Amino acid sequence: MRSGIAGSVLLLGLACQTYDFERVEPIAIAQTRVGGARFARKPAPNVMLLVDRSGSMRDSAVDGGAAKIDELKVALDSFLAQHGTLARMGLALFPSNDTCGATTSIAVALPAPFPSDDDAALAASEAAAQRVRSAVHGIAPGGGTPTGASLAFVGGLPGLGEDDGRDDFVVLLTDGLPNCNAGNVNTCASPAACRCTLSACGPSGNPNCALGCLDEDGAVSSVHALSEKGIGVFVVGFGSDTTGTAQRTLDAMAIAGGRPRECGGADGGCLRYYQSSSGDELATVLDDIIRITGPDPCEFLLDTPTPIDPKFLSVGVDRGPVLPGPDTWVFDPARNAVRFGGAMCDRLRAATKGHEVLVDIRALEWL
């Protein structure tokens, strides 16, 4: 009997309890596709680096800092080590002597043509990048800045501007204004038209009367000629000397090359060329440029208006789910991107037209 009474009391106690419920709005969850598609790697572009080795490269990139040439070597070394297979790279230097000679040869040629970017082609690209690295280490500054004539020479190189299914680019790295044009119509006979790039350009009749004057027209014309051949030109100004009065000339060259920096705002209001004042800045600029010329096949930027929580990401490759990990994929919040690694990255690098890889990236979205 005692157990029965106790049970009755317990039931009565439970029946007398009350609960207050707060009304909430229902939550809906949807799965949204945020990136990915049937992916075939675009053939690696041809990228010719045209590097200024003029005497002013001995100067500091910033006051009290290392010489520009030393900063440039470190930046290029890092860049080439990381991106040797993203593009087929070559190297040309100017001037060709310690005076005003335009470049008439190339330090490192573009890799030989390959019908597709198979393992052998990627190995050739990597080897070319290593040759460029070695050549960069041997650069010794001297001479003027014959930019216009050097661009014209590079524009006539075999392998650039040809209908081979590859994009073609020249990346001009310069620390100063173009000069050294003996045929420059703007001479020191008219100082306002000359815009002297040296400590002195005169008197009239002196060789420097034309050579020392700014060759903006010649440089812009050469860049435009490359663009007309389908060769995009990126203009990179290196060092503090490429700001201020140099801005107009370098901006004009960048626009003529068809690959200017994007500007925000209705009126633009920014440099159209790529400016860097230190080795670290130059490395970042080169990294940005190579992602434009040859996007990394192992990185997928996600087109979303708000940041994504990686816990709610779902990634599939060739209709099979892929779990995150260092050898599969990771999420990069800084770039809002999925980055593939290991064997997955190898599959994407090997993808070609007719042998595509299906990549599907989805995220849970709270509605």
The predicted structure's pLDDT at residue 303: 75
The pTM of the whole model exceeds 0.75: no
339-344's contacts with Cβ under 8 Å and 24+ in sequence apart are 339/298, 339/299, 339/300, 340/298, 340/299, 340/300, 341/298, 344/298, 344/317
Which ranges constitute the DSSP H helices of the chain? 2-16, 68-83, 119-137, 147-155, 191-194, 208-211, 216-228, 247-256, 279-293, 342-350
Length of the chain, in residues: 367
Measured CA to CA, the distance from residue 9 to residue 1 in angstroms comes to: 13
Hey, what's the torsion of the CAs at 270, 275, 281, 285, to 10 degrees? 90
Q: Is 39 helix (H, G, I), strand (E, B) or coil?
A: strand
Burial class (CB in 10 A: 0-12, 13-18, 19+), 66: middle
Q: What distance in Å separates the CA atoms of residue 313 and residue 215, rounded to the nearest whole number?
A: 53
pLDDT reported for residue 13: 39
pLDDT of residue 234: 96
What CA–CA distance (Å, rounded) separates 234 from 273? Answer: 7
CA dist 316 and 36 (Å) reads: 9
Question: CA angle, corner 160, sides to 136 and 169, nearest 5?
Answer: 60
- Give the span between the Cα atoms of 274 and 238, in whole angstroms: 8
Tell me the torsion sign for CA atoms 6, 8, 13, 19.
Answer: positive
Looking at residue 359, what is its pLDDT?
A: 87
Tokens representing 320 are: 């099979």
Q: How far apart are CA 92 and CA 344, in angstroms?
A: 35
Tens place of pLDDT for every residue, the chain, 367 residues?
444 434 433 333 344 445 454 554 544 444 555 655 555 556 788 999 999 999 999 998 776 788 999 999 999 998 998 888 788 899 999 999 999 999 999 999 998 877 667 777 778 888 999 999 999 999 999 999 999 999 999 999 888 888 777 889 999 999 989 999 999 988 888 878 888 888 888 777 777 888 999 999 999 999 999 999 999 999 999 987 777 778 899 999 999 999 998 875 444 568 899 999 888 899 999 988 987 886 677 888 887 766 677 788 889 888 889 999 989 999 988 878 888 988 888 888 777 666 778 888 887 655 4
Q: What is the pLDDT of residue 353?
A: 64
